[in-house]
């Protein structure tokens, strides 16, 4: 028998963020295959990223940055869901994180330095909002 648990907006945005993280490496890998060849890429290479286009190098760094920030975001969203503290403010924080991540990925890949930094800061602020709600502030 299937049990239904309502997911908060926070949880939906966490899932969407995970999906973005899963698929955003595809353009980077396709670029690496084009630069180094399929055989080399499936042979556990250590390609020199300097040989890749600048956009692919930046996308790779944006992906690593998302991976680093996904775990704290996930922990905060899951704890808010489990403790019943998910509310309009945690949803706001999750929206700030999610949409700022989209902007950060786009600006980072495009090479727009101040924009990516601003979007990153907005995402961190979103996580702080969720944290404050969990802690009861």
Q: Is 23 exposed, middle or buried (0-12, 13-18, 19+ CB in 10 A)?
A: exposed
Sign of CA dihedral 126, 28, 16, 71: negative
Q: What is the pLDDT of residues 53-83, one digit of tens each?
A: 999 999 999 999 999 999 999 999 999 999 9
Nearest to 55 by CA among 129, 109, 131: 109
Distance CA 14, CA 133 (A): 17
Q: What CATH class does 9-134 carry?
A: mainly alpha
Tokens at residue 98, please? 């999610």
Q: What is the pLDDT of residues 39-59, one digit of tens each?
A: 888 887 676 778 899 999 999
Q: What are phi and psi of 72, to 5 degrees?
A: -60, -40
What residue segments make up the domains of the chain, in order of their start?
9-134
CA atoms within 13 A on the CB side of 63: 17
pTM of the model: 0.89
């Amino acid at each position: 028998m299937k049990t239904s648990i309502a997911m908060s907006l926070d949880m939906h945005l966490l899932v969407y963020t995970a999906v973005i993280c899963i698929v955003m490496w595809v353009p980077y890998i396709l670029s690496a295959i084009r630069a180094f060849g399929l055989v080399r890429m499936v042979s556990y290479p250590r390609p020199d990223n300097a040989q890749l286009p600048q956009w692919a190098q930046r996308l790779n760094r944006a992906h690593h940055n998302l991976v680093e920030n996904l775990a704290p975001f996930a922990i905060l969203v899951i704890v808010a869901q489990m403790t019943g503290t998910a509310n309009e403010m945690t949803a706001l924080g999750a929206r700030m994180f999610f949409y700022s991540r989209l902007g950060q990925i786009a600006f980072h890949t495009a090479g727009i330095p101040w924009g990516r930094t601003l979007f990153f800061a907005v995402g961190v602020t979103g996580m702080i909002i969720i944290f404050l709600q969990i802690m009861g502030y």
